[in-house]
Structure 1
């Protein structure tokens, strides 16, 4: 693999409602499978992702600006266990979510958030983010994402999509 350099004008934007959106920086194909990277800007108080997990990768969130919340579910992935927790993380904070950990995240109430999101090892997920943008903008139903869970290693928690 050669070094990867992505200039701001080379990043692909994916619009989300409320002026939010993704900047797609590097997919696994770009990095020899080492990492996938995107920058996610969330509107004040908006959800970033509902409960889901990844079976093959660790997801790393660095809060670039604003404040985000992260819900980290217990080992069994269900509500109400003693090890469920919600963490609020401001700019400069880091959250590392290991494989098979059910998690959800969003911008804190009344606050915007900007997150650098890394997935390692990388999974080619740009197609997922494009489809998610269409879903969030009301152009496609959520159900279009369901058959793609294995392909993109985004597995929605049962009953939580």
Structure 2
């Protein structure tokens, strides 16, 4: 992986991440993260990942980001988003941009898998968060060793992921 030069007057360098360099973090619903670029690798410009969701799986429960906008490009399948208090469904080829401080949640619609390109800008180093989500799904100890996502609550500021209690988002797990 070639990283970008920070904004220090150095000659700019492009970030190149080849497929074989992408770290894969499995999730319990059969999906997972492909970690593409963290903020440190982009001079803070952005963070990017590819997220695959299993059938009907939640991608993220209600939360917001205070410092960054989040872009979702639906590459495959259909995704249900909660944006503020409004639900909307977006299919393959669609795009959603969530501004800072807007509560949001998302998941694959029932009966569908989904694949998304997710970009956070300006970037926040969040690969540790995604790895912790993978460990939480496998019941591992450590950052996410507490009951599921509860172990990440202490890390909300660090990762700029501020969890919200929005009972109407609660979705029953997909059967199967």
**1:126: which partner in 2?**
127
Distance 1:137 1:87 in 2: 30
Asked if residue 62 in structure 1 is aligned to residue 73 in structure 2, the reply is yes
Distance 2:105 2:37 in 1: 22
Report the more deviating stretch, 10-19 or 33-42: 10-19
- Give 1:137 deviation, angstroms: 2.5
Q: Per the alignment, in what secondary structure is the counterpart of residue 123 of structure 2?
A: coil
Q: Per the alignment, in what secondary structure is the counterpart of residue 59 of structure 1?
A: strand
Instruction: Select the structure with the greater relative contact order (CA < 8 A; seq sep ≥ 6).
Output: 1
Report 1:41-56 matches (<5 A): 41-56=52-67
**2:162: which partner in 1?**
155
Q: Is residue 62–residue 166 contact of structure 2 (8 Å, CA) maintained in 1?
A: no
TM-score, scaled relative to structure 1: 0.90
Q: Name the CA shift for 1:5/1:106 in 2 (closer, same or farther; >3 Å).
A: same
For residues 50-100 of structure 1, give each alpha carbon's deviation from its aligned partner in whole angstroms, at most 9, with x where no partner exists: 000000000000000111110012xxxxxxxxxx21111110000000000
Q: Per the alignment, in what secondary structure is the counterpart of residue 110 of structure 2?
A: coil
Partner residue of 2:30 out of 12, 19, 27:
19
- Give 1:122 deviation, angstroms: 0.2
Asked if residue 117 in structure 1 is aligned to residue 118 in structure 2, the reply is yes
The CA RMSD measured in Å over matched residues stands at: 1.4
- Give 1:121 deviation, angstroms: 0.2
Structure 2 portions without partners, runs of 5+: 6-12, 171-176
Q: Per the alignment, in what secondary structure is the counterpart of residue 129 of structure 2?
A: helix
**1:146: which partner in 2?**
153
Distance 2:138 2:107 in 1: 17
Distance 1:67 1:3 in 2: 32
Distance 2:166 2:153 in 1: 12
Q: Is residue 24–residue 32 contact of structure 2 (8 Å, CA) maintained in 1?
A: yes
Q: Per the alignment, in what secondary structure is the counterpart of residue 76 of structure 2?
A: strand
Aligned length: 151
Asked if residue 94 in structure 1 is aligned to residue 95 in structure 2, the reply is yes
Partner residue of 1:71 out of 77, 82, 90:
82
TM-score, scaled relative to structure 2: 0.82
Q: Per the alignment, in what secondary structure is the counterpart of residue 19 of structure 1?
A: coil
